[in-house]
Structure 1
Amino acid sequence: MSFQVRTSTQADSEAVTALLQKSYAVLLRDAYAAEILDKALPLITKARPELLVSGSYYVAEDDAGRIIGAGGWTKQSPTGEDETPDNGNIRHFGTDPDHTGKGIGRSLMTRCMSDALDAGIAEFNCYSTLNGEAFYRACGFQSVEPFPITLPGGVVFPSVRMSRSL
């Protein structure tokens, strides 16, 4: 299977949302209790318009033009914490569960790192899902601390803050 990574646009909103819904519903279920996912999934699976047009959010498309992966980085932290003048933050990664293990996530991460280095970023933070920790570790990230994220409505979503030098 071949795929291409490109910068996202606002026109990708529906396809990225569909990807995140499919990805997170399948891939998170072994790491989180059903009652957490029932509340969290509607909040975390929507494409973020500001990311789609940021110039640093990317999609992976298969040869038929279907989005099978997405992810990016921003200077701003999604939590508003742990920001420094020379760090960036990995944002809203997801891979179609039918296509995991095929290098899609790694290709998106490689693009993030390359573009971030070009922008003068020296370090990445990441607020990983519990099941995503192994992927980020394989990409050179170190676990820093458990980091519960409070979502709208008071939903507490366990995550892990991770970091890596670029």
Structure 2
Amino acid sequence: MTTHDHLRAARLDDVPRMEALIAEAGIALSAGYYTPEQAQAVTRHVFGVDTQLIEDGTYFIIERDGEAVACGGWSKRATLFGADRTKTGPDRLLDPAHEAGRIRAFFVAPSAARQGLGRMLMEHCQRAAAAQGYLTLELAATMPGVPLYLASGFEVVEPFEITLPGSVSVPLARMRKPIG
């Protein structure tokens, strides 16, 4: 993190910049983890902004010298992953006493990768979720995200695959971490 990195709550007018960042990161940072076909499919059909998180005040953007270099958040909603276009109905609130909060949609610009921005977002989200009474966090990790989440104390509880249009299978991992 440089002194010019600024983390703030994302706004709806940030969505176009974040969508561009997500599309770039989804392809570039998947190299070595996914085939080009898998990276294209997951970026096109799954990755993106869930505006419910922005409305809830739980999605964040990091700007460096005015440029969006990272975004990510946590959620008190049942949806585990996916953008607005993947939603099928109301997204119910979780019960923090009995259900895990969600870590959602972490993306870092390829030009800013491995500079501590993912960790900065993770620490911010963990503190915010704990302040709301959550004792555990859960996420669905893409293979490029697994190293960050392991370094942040998450454990893989279940590897799984999703099948996307064109019969493209993409491996993911359900991960959990106690925070309370």
**TM-score with structure 2 setting the length:** 0.82
Structure 1 position 65 matched with structure 2 position 78 = no
Residue 36 of structure 2 aligns to which amino acid in structure 1? A
Whether the 8 Å CA contact 1:12–1:52 is kept in 2: the answer is no
Structure 1 position 106 matched with structure 2 position 125 = no
- Relative to structure 1, the CA distance from residue 150 to residue 90 in structure 2 (aligned partners, 3 Å threshold; closer, same or farther) is farther
Whether the 8 Å CA contact 1:145–1:160 is kept in 2: the answer is yes
Structure 1 counterpart of 2:86: none
1:105 shift after superposition: 0.6
Structure 1 position 21 matched with structure 2 position 23 = yes
Structure 2 counterpart of 1:89: 102
SS of 1:101's equivalent? Answer: coil
Aligned equivalent of 2:173, options 160, 163, 166? 160
SS of 1:53's equivalent? Answer: helix
Gaps in structure 1 of 5+ consecutive residues: none
1:45 shift after superposition: 3.5
SS of 2:23's equivalent? Answer: helix
* Residues 66-95 of structure 1: CA deviation (Å, up to 9, x unaligned): 110011111223269xx7634111100000
Partner Cα distance (2:51, 2:13) in 1: 10
- Relative to structure 1, the CA distance from residue 153 to residue 125 in structure 2 (aligned partners, 3 Å threshold; closer, same or farther) is farther
Whether the 8 Å CA contact 1:146–1:159 is kept in 2: the answer is yes
Gaps in structure 2 of 5+ consecutive residues: 82-90
Residue 51 of structure 1 aligns to which amino acid in structure 2? L
Whether the 8 Å CA contact 1:58–1:70 is kept in 2: the answer is yes
Structure 1 position 143 matched with structure 2 position 143 = no
1:37 shift after superposition: 2.3
1:32 shift after superposition: 0.8
**TM-score with structure 1 setting the length:** 0.89
Residue 112 of structure 2 aligns to which amino acid in structure 1? H
Partner Cα distance (2:106, 2:50) in 1: 12
Residue 72 of structure 2 aligns to which amino acid in structure 1? G
What is the number of residues matched between the two proteins?
A: 163
Partner Cα distance (1:160, 1:140) in 2: 14
Structure 2 counterpart of 1:134: 147
SS of 1:29's equivalent? Answer: coil
CA RMSD of aligned residues (A): 2.0
1:34 shift after superposition: 1.9
1:36 shift after superposition: 1.9
Partner Cα distance (1:88, 1:136) in 2: 15
Partner Cα distance (1:7, 1:141) in 2: 24
Residue 23 of structure 1 aligns to which amino acid in structure 2? A
- Relative to structure 1, the CA distance from residue 153 to residue 72 in structure 2 (aligned partners, 3 Å threshold; closer, same or farther) is farther
Residue 100 of structure 2 aligns to which amino acid in structure 1? N
Structure 2 counterpart of 1:123: 136
